[in-house]
Amino acid sequence: MVSRALVSAGWLSGALKSKKSLQVVDSTWYSPGAKDARKEFMERHIPSAQFFDMEQCRDAGSPYEMMLPSQGQFADYVGSLGISNSSHVIVYDGDNMGMLYAPRLWWMFRVFGHTNVSVLDGGLVNWVKRALPVTSEITAVKPQKFNATLNKSLLKTFEDVQENLRSKTFQLVDARGEGRFRGPEPKPEEGIEPGHIPGSVNLPFSGFLTPEGFSRPSHEIRCLFEEKGVDLKQPMTATCRRGVTACHLALAAFLLGKEDTAVYDGSWSEWFHRAKPEHKVYEKRNRA
């Protein structure tokens, strides 16, 4: 079953009241040393929601911070949250932007073969603004069997993107802000300069969201792609800094009927460290 990619707070509130078979998941994440996402969840979350810990469900052996876990690791972790292959999963996060990490988890479910997944449009911040119920009560769940099957068509590796420099098989669209893409902004973290992959197009993910944190209407999303010359009828791969906001591009394209957008999981974090110098494009900053 393929579910609609977005559900409203009103729909979810009604579904929870009617006891529909749903598994609500909080995907809030913060950089290590920042705020404590799990603590925030324990204090306030949508009733019956489970906390999806991105730190526990990733490739911890990778030097890059958000790489996909193995197929087995994902299946075991998801099953521990009470999610089975028949579950309709609703993903949200608590970021003030409305939606920041939820599209990443939406994509993760899809890349592991589970298409019955939706994102809560507007996230927790707009749920709270509507005075809808939140709780600190943790709902006990019974572990379920979850079978994961990697859909390789939705995932691109370093080698895939490297080969694409020559073959130009797919369009590469970068979801970061212009400053990080072009290069004049300061380093996002020690050891990584801003810049981009040759031939990539810059389409910042923030443009897909309204100031209130909701997804923009489909016609506005379509215009954003068209303005950048992105052809949604052709193969497309999304990238960003660590494979998170790239998933906003995949979600936006999905809303327009394009369900096959791939994500370069390692994104700029991996590319910066592995690519040849001539395959990294950036503008020099003026130094006083």
Question: Is 57 an annotated catalytic residue?
Answer: no
The strand order across the sheet containing 117-120 reads 6-7, 117-120, 88-92, 22-26, 50-51
What is d(CA 127, CA 120) in angstroms, rounded to the nearest whole number?
A: 9
Q: What are the structure tokens assigned to 10, written together?
A: 């009103």
Which of 247, 60, 78, 58 minimizes the C-alpha distance to 148? 78
Beta carbons of 268 and 195 less than 8 angstroms apart: yes
What is d(CA 89, CA 104) in angstroms, rounded to the nearest whole number?
A: 13
The amino acid at 249: L
What is d(CA 199, CA 168) in angstroms, rounded to the nearest whole number?
A: 9
Place of tokens 């925030």: 40
What is d(CA 62, CA 143) in angstroms, rounded to the nearest whole number?
A: 28
**Among 57, 223, 240, 247, the one annotated catalytic:** 240
Question: In sequence order, what are the beta bridge partners of 118?
Answer: 90
Q: What are the structure tokens assigned to 76, written together?
A: 């075991």
Beta carbons of 281 and 195 less than 8 angstroms apart: yes
What is d(CA 26, CA 47) in angstroms, rounded to the nearest whole number?
A: 11
What is d(CA 123, CA 106) in angstroms, rounded to the nearest whole number?
A: 13
Q: Which residues contact 62 (CB under 8 A, 6 or more apart)?
A: none
Q: Torsion over CA of 55, 115, 86 and 44, rounded to 10 degrees?
A: 40
- Just list the catalytic residues: 240
